[in-house]
Amino acid sequence: MGTWNTRGLRGSTLEDMINMSNESYREKGLALIQKIPTPITPVRIDQQTRHITLAYFDQQSTVDYIGAVQGIPVCFDAKECATDTFPMMNIHEHQVKFMKDFEKQGGVSFIILFYSHKNEMYYIPFCDIEKFYERSINGGRKSFRFDEIDKKYKIKSAPGILVHYLETINIDLESREE
């Protein structure tokens, strides 16, 4: 089982940017999205600083964020990638199942993927996640490449919103109507 300190600060900058964007969305009345904390059990605590230095995960987490956008339930995970190839092992079976069940209930599930080496962010709709996941468990490629994602889902910034993903949710919703 993985421990908390083996994960380092991976993804914290992306999550900070998303958290600030979510706060802007809330202030403007556009959306209410919350970060879901991963439940941990502390094993070792530095007595001087009172910081947790070692912990284990109590249970598998579902997704990083959940909430509503203009009455539409949304859930998503934030991921980072330093190359053009994203390994599917970074999206766990329980996460795919949760997102699939969420979609069945009328929600919108997706991943925000930050390609750090390109300094570009993309919204990966659940239908694509599911396609890549199914391919990986059925003997196909165990990753997806940058050239496989739909570039119309590139996430841009807006005044006061670093990760303006609401536009890409609209693109996703419009494509579902076609």
Residue set of the binding site for Mg(2+): 62, 64, 77, 95
Q: How many CA atoms lie within 13 A of 26 on its CB side?
A: 11
Reported as type and span, the H/E element at residue 95 is helix 93-104
Residue 94: CB atoms within 10 A of its CB come to: 13
What residue numbers does the annotated binding site cover?
62, 64, 77, 95
CA distance 121 to 139: 28
The owner of tokens 């439940």 is 39
CA distance 82 to 17: 17
